[in-house]
Amino acid sequence: MLAKRIIPCLDVKNGRTVKGVNFINLRDAGDAVELARIYAEQGADELTFLDITATIEERGTFTSLVRRIADVIDIPFTVGGGIRSVKDVGDLLEAGADKISINSIAVKDPSIIHTLASEFGSQCVVCAIDVRMNPTTHLYEVYVSGGRIATGIEAVSWAKEVEQRGAGEILLTSMDSDGTKNGFSLDITKKVGDSVGIPIIASGGAGTKQHFLDVFNQGGADAALAASIFHFSEIPIPELKIFLQEHGIPIRLKH
């Protein structure tokens, strides 16, 4: 069985790492480069960097900051935010990213998924899907523009489409759970995971070590992404990994 992955996420605004609840009420969480270095040293399996206002501000990702982060880590590095073209992806890969994450542009122009997968390989293309339960339909709906705009697209059908178009991985964030520390949304994580054959990174809601165990055992996630519990040193990554290994989860420990 493939090892499960633990992925800290750097949500960056104006060059600083921030973290909110349900995508709002952001607070400063520290220097992105320093946090990245610490996570790599602690044994994080990968690192994700999301420039959370690039799309709304209609600009590209901070490539200079991407380069500075890439210089201090030796683990796979995914970058997202404001990506709109093959050139944008090329620039980020040249700056040190290993994978890129697209969200709003994929919904706006789904053909870009195939274009990027053909150009750089499916392993490079992560489709981020931000979802929220629709209280009327009781289905999970896809949101774009940093969680600001509802699309009316049902989450499971969109996950199937992005896989069919060439995405190599899905970063699934439950907006209802984001920042709450009440646990990952196991139901939608499992539904999406059962419907596709590509890895699912679960995001939104991590608050305890048990939450990670639950998302692997009950949610079927291939990786778990978290932010504030790592940024504010609530759960050290080595301690989390030992806990998961002791509970039968295949995990890589840093030696």
Q: In sequence order, which residues have a C-beta less than 8 Å from that of residue 94 and are 6 or more positions away? A: none
> Which domains does the chain show, CATH number per domain?
5-246 (3.20.20.70)
**R_g over Cα of the chain:** 17
Of 11 and 159, more confident: 159
Least confident among 15-19, 211-215, 241-245 = 15-19
Q: What is the pLDDT of residue 12?
A: 81
| Mean of pLDDT values over 200-215 | 97
Could you give the CA distance from residue 8 to residue 229 in angstroms, rounded to a whole number? 9
- pLDDT surpasses 80 at 1: no
Report, as residue numbers or ranges, the catalytic residues. 11, 130
Over range 53-65, report the average pLDDT: 67
Report the DSSP beta bridge partners of residue 184: none
Give the pLDDT band of residue 107 (cuts 50, 70, 90): very high
pLDDT digits (tens, 9 = 90+) for 71-96: 999 999 999 988 999 999 999 999 99
Pick the more confident residue, 210 or 24: 210
Least confident of 41-55, 180-194, 200-214: 41-55
Q: What is the pLDDT of residues 111-169, one digit of tens each?
A: 999 999 999 999 999 999 999 999 999 999 999 987 889 999 999 999 999 999 999 99
Of the listed ranges 8-17, 49-58, 83-92, 188-197, the one predicted with least confidence? 49-58
Highest average pLDDT, of 15-19, 49-53, 68-72, comes from: 68-72
